[in-house]
């Protein structure tokens, strides 16, 4: 009994957190084990891991994006399978770091978004955090978005507060851009001269990934090479950019509920002879131009743009983003990876959910009302104790 109590005491006072993130691209789970001292000392990455999802889980999660038969059971079974892959990622992190589970204060896990309808008062990130707590023997913090939605917010994006803490500068305005399945921006003012803000700008990789999967049998366009070999069609780009979402003022958020393959097919009806490679090039320009529009409209004074998420590895996309920013702002705005700020692009969101888990443990707010539109600051998440 004394050994167990000692472990619990170590866990309760630990600065070690695990963050798990599986995003809109449905490719797998990224994990991060980090030291996040409660006294504000610099954070440190201790281990990272990635566990790919099998095709049956990807298909099950994709099917849950739309209405269908027997949804409750299908979601429950997918959540159980998902928890097992999350547990595998946790196990890899512990093995790589040689740190026992008893020393980890909490696991922060985003879950897998299958519906996001804040205008109807809900957002759904499927997961089984109770099972995850059983499997890994660590306190689990999950369901971060629901409390913000309950307070009248969008529940997304949640990363701007983290971006300010990690990527903000005392000397210059910066913009952090996360390009996952959906893209979002965080506007990080210099010092505390203004409030941090941010919102979802629209599609990130979701349409590009779906299109290359259909025509090339690949899950993503590596470095944007296929897109770069095509030509951007100005008329199709204009049709894509005409969606009402882009005219909405922030706070706003979106997801696969709006930007999905059927949405794309409707807009392609007027372009029956356009080569698939040109559609891919245009989809890349679509993502780049809508991100640039948002930055120019809301952060034209930014000194630099730092990109994270899978889109940071698409060289063609970053090239088009830099071109669109220069055209819109009438000056060059440097575009670079968050790697130069010390965090690899594919590790940022996992680290963000470790940070959000710490915020919960310290009973500190994790949302920004200026970003989500919530009525006020809220402690985000729910606790699923290991014991």
User: How far apart, in whole angstroms, are the C-alpha atoms of residue 168 and residue 150?
Assistant: 29
Model pLDDT, residue 14: 81
With vertex at residue 20, the alpha carbon angle to CA 125 and CA 348, rounded to the nearest 5 degrees, is 110
Beta strand pairing call for 16-21 and 28-35: antiparallel
> From residue 48, how far is each of 30, 36, 83 by CA, in Å?
8, 15, 18
With vertex at residue 347, the alpha carbon angle to CA 339 and CA 141, rounded to the nearest 5 degrees, is 145
Cis before 251? omega within 30: yes
Model pLDDT, residue 12: 59
Q: Note the residue count of the chain.
A: 387
Task: Quickly count: other Cβ atoms within 10 Å of residue 241's Cβ.
Answer: 14
Model pLDDT, residue 193: 72
Q: Is the pTM of this model over 0.95?
A: no
Alpha helices in 14-128, H assignment, sequence order: 55-63, 71-97
Task: Identify the burial level of 270 via C-beta atoms within 10 angstroms of its C-beta, where 0-12 means exposed, 13-18 middle and 19 or more buried.
Answer: exposed
Q: Give me the DSSP letters along 183-235.
A: EEEEEE-STTSS--EEEEEEESSHHHHHHHHHHHS-SS-GGGHHHHTS---HH
| Nearest residue to 200 (alpha-carbon basis) of 120, 269, 118 | 118
Model pLDDT, residue 65: 86
| Nearest residue to 303 (alpha-carbon basis) of 326, 324, 334, 325 | 334
| Nearest residue to 254 (alpha-carbon basis) of 295, 210, 203 | 203
| Residue in the block written with tokens 């920013």 | 325
Task: Identify the burial level of 154 via C-beta atoms within 10 angstroms of its C-beta, where 0-12 means exposed, 13-18 middle and 19 or more buried.
Answer: buried
User: How far apart, in whole angstroms, are the C-alpha atoms of residue 352 and residue 110?
Assistant: 10
Averaged over successive runs of 10 residues, the pLDDT of the chain (387 residues) comes to 38 84 88 92 93 94 89 96 98 98 97 93 96 98 97 95 94 97 96 88 97 96 98 98 97 94 96 97 98 98 97 98 97 97 95 98 96 97 95
| Nearest residue to 20 (alpha-carbon basis) of 381, 354, 359 | 354
Q: Give me the DSSP letters along 103-145.
A: G--EEEE--EEEEEEGGGTEEEEE--HHHHHHHH-S-EEE--S
380: left (phi over 0), alpha (psi -120 to 50) or beta: beta
Cis before 157? omega within 30: yes
């Amino acid at each position: 009994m004394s050994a167990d109590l000692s472990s619990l005491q170590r866990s309760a006072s630990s600065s070690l957190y695990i963050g798990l993130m599986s995003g809109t691209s449905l490719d797998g789970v990224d994990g991060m084990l980090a030291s996040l001292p409660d006294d504000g000392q610099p954070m440190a990455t201790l281990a990272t891991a990635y566990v790919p999802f099998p095709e049956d889980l990807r298909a099950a999660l994709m099917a849950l994006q739309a209405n269908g038969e027997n949804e409750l059971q299908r979601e429950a079974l997918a959540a159980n399978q998902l928890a097992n892959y999350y547990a595998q990622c946790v196990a890899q992190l512990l093995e790589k770091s040689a740190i026992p589970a008893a020393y980890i204060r909490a696991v922060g896990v985003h879950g897998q978004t299958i519906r996001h309808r804040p205008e109807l008062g809900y957002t759904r990130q499927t997961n089984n955090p109770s099972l995850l707590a059983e499997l890994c023997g660590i306190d689990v913090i999950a369901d971060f978005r629901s409390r913000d939605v309950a307070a009248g917010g969008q529940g997304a994006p949640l990363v701007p507060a983290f971006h300010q803490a990690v990527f903000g500068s005392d000397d210059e305005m910066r913009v952090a851009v996360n390009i996952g399945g959906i893209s979002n921006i965080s506007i990080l003012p210099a010092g505390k001269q203004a409030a941090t803000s941010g919102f979802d700008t629209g599609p990130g990789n979701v349409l590009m990934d779906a299109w290359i999967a259909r025509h090339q049998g690949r899950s993503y366009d590596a470095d944007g090479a296929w897109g770069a070999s095509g030509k951007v069609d100005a008329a199709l780009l204009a049709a894509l950019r005409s969606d009402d979402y882009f005219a909405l003022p922030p706070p706003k958020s979106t997801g696969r509920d709006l930007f999905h393959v059927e949405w794309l097919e409707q807009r392609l009806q007027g372009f029956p002879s356009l080569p698939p490679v040109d559609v891919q090039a245009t989809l890349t320009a679509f993502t780049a131009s809508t991100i640039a529009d948002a930055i120019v409209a809301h952060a034209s004074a930014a000194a630099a743009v730092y990109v994270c998420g899978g889109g940071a590895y698409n060289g063609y996309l970053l090239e088009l983003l830099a071109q669109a920013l220069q055209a819109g702002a009438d000056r060059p705005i440097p575009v670079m990876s968050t790697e130069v700020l010390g965090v690899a692009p594919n590790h940022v969101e996992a680290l963000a959910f470790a940070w959000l888990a710490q915020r919960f443990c310290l009973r500190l707010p994790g949302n920004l009302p200026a970003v989500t539109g919530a009525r006020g600051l809220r402690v985000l998440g729910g606790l699923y104790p290991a014991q």
